[in-house]
A = this chain, B = another copy of it.
Amino acid sequence: MSTSEQGGPEQPYHHGDLRRALVAAARALLEESGPEALSLRDVARRVGVSHNAPYRHFPTKQALLAAVAAEGFAALSARMAAVPAAPGLGAPPGPGAPPGLAAGFRCYLGFARDQPGLFRLMFDGTVEKSADPALSAASEQSYDGLRRAVHRIAPAADRAAVVTVWTQMHGLALVTISGQLADDLVRDGGLDALADRAAAILEAGLRMAGAP
């Protein structure tokens, strides 16, 4: 879009640019102090626009948070899609081959640790996914990626098995970013080892009991 945003030369944002800048500022504030403390006014201040400027893009704080969460799901999908495909059933990983679920578990954990505020926002119920079509679509696309990955491991896996894989890595991610694991389990690569063991247990379980 070519319409410039309101105001003088100190507010040089074009339409799409301001939207992106607001979402980026909200993401930064989210990591600093969490969703409760965040306000549209703070976001405007961080971006350097008038306190009314955000309302042209986001009528409410919830709408802005939904846009932030949608961006988070897109980023998560992109990171998970870059994980090397897991070997299928009956094709155990050879030397150098990526272990099945473990690479995905490590990736998901890494995403949560890199931006814990965003990760919590995406899943803690602060934003209502069904109220925002773009967020709903981004969230579903992210889950579809997980479903495909599980089906490469266990083609007959049903919905409950996919939920099991997701909640396993999700629980591990949440207790990690909330500081609930003993230090010696986490440091010096311990968390990767933990993710690998959890993935191995799940993968063995899926092959035995992944289908009803």
The minimal Cβ–Cβ distance linking A140 to chain B, given in whole angstroms, is 10
Contact (Cβ within 8 A) A197 B161: yes
Point out which of A168, A175, A194, A212 has the most chain B C-beta atoms below 10 A from its C-beta: A168
Closest to A208 in B: B204
Closest to A170 in B: B171
Q: In this assembly, does A3 line the interface, its C-beta being within 8 Å of a C-beta of chain B? A: no
Q: In this assembly, does A164 line the interface, its C-beta being within 8 Å of a C-beta of chain B? A: yes
Given contacts A123-B178, A180-B123, contact A185 B202 (CB under 8 A): no
Point out which of A201, A204, A208 has the most chain B C-beta atoms below 10 A from its C-beta: A201
A169: chain B residues at CB < 8 Å are 171
- Residues of A in contact with B, size category: 35 or more
A163–B193 CA distance with the chains assembled, in angstroms = 12
Given contacts A174-B171, A204-B209, A209-B204, contact A160 B197 (CB under 8 A): yes
A170: chain B residues at CB < 8 Å are 171, 174-175
The minimal Cβ–Cβ distance linking A210 to chain B, given in whole angstroms, is 6
Contact (Cβ within 8 A) A205 B201: yes
A212–B180 CA distance with the chains assembled, in angstroms = 23
Contact of A172 among B161, B167, B197 (CB under 8 A): B167
A36: chain B residues at CB < 8 Å are 36
Contact (Cβ within 8 A) B123 A194: no
Closest to A171 in B: B171
Q: In this assembly, does A179 line the interface, its C-beta being within 8 Å of a C-beta of chain B? A: yes
Contact (Cβ within 8 A) A197 B164: yes
Given contacts A178-B123, A178-B124, A180-B123, contact A201 B164 (CB under 8 A): yes
Q: Which residues in A have some Cβ–Cβ distance to B below 8 Å? A: 36, 123-125, 159-161, 163-164, 166-172, 174-175, 178-181, 185, 193-194, 197-198, 200-206, 208-210, 212
